[in-house]
Amino acid sequence: LQQRRGLRLSAPAAIQVTVRDALNQALDEELERDERVFLLGEEVAQYDGAYKISRGLWKKYGDKRVIDTPISEMGFAGIAVGAAMAGLRPVCEFMTFNFSMQAIDQVINSAAKTCYMSAGSISVPIVFRGPNGASAGVAAQHSQCFAAWYGHCPGLKVVSPWSAEDAKGLLKSSIRDDNPVVMLESELLYGVTFEMSEQALSKEFVVPIGKAKIERQGTHVTLVAHSRPVGHCMEAAAVLSKEGVECEVINLRTIRPMDIEAVEASVVKTNHLVTVEGGWPQFGVGAEICARIMEGPAFNYLDAPAVRVTGADVPMPYAKILEDNSLPQVKDIVFAVKKVLNI
């Protein structure tokens, strides 16, 4: 009728969802779907979570499914690992992954190795999740990226989302996985809004672990990143596009197992590689990507050495201007691309 009257019909508005709400949706849907799933951690219940990721879940599911713990990471991580061995599917929230160092023995020696050491007879279906990497103004003890730390360890799966769809789909996949999964979120992304497709709003939407995503097609250089630096790569690609340089941006999504095939296929097409991460350079995620490319068939397609863009090789400073200069910025990615393309 509107068309007959000559009125223009507008397309349906895109659904905008914050990363925080996407994670909340995933937890809600999985708690509802499987009664073995429960959430535990500091302030996750009555306070609705330190970052409001678990908002409303305690009121909906009660004390047995959403559990406030004492400030003892080793203690509640150990409880969660034991519960997983006994057949439950715990989601263990660290208020920040810097605090996971208090429980690293439980994560590595108990969760990651038990399936192997029991010859496959004992699975440990647990998710360790929480904010990872730099926040803002919290200095050295609260601003380090653990992607390389946990990605180093066989027996773990390690995921690192960027967008709201990544966050929801990867958390649901992680909860359903029979292996221990470390999910490294970014506190600085929690309030960021992304478009979500109708499919992603479904209760059965999952993002497969171990599969990267091409966020932007390009022909001149491959940019590979995970978590918040993916956004920086997209911004740098937009800047470079105005200068005639088309970047292919790969959102790694999973650190372990790494989708090196996706990176190789892109490098074969673009002949150039730049990796971007917020972590330290030595033994980092970018270093692993560069090594894998050098060892594989895509090495012969490189027209220049791969370049890494990383955080500075120092503990995080507290002063804002120093903090900004310790983390990769859009200008650093643009500089690296021009360096690798010799322009």
Report whether 292 contacts 258 (CB < 8 A).
Answer: yes
Report whether 29 contacts 176 (CB < 8 A).
Answer: no
Of 73, 187, 288, 323, the active-site residue reads: 73
Number of Cα atoms under 13 Å in the Cβ half of residue 70: 5
142: annotated active-site residue? yes
Of 43, 142, 152, 246, the active-site residue reads: 142
220: annotated active-site residue? no
Catalytic (active-site) positions: 73, 142
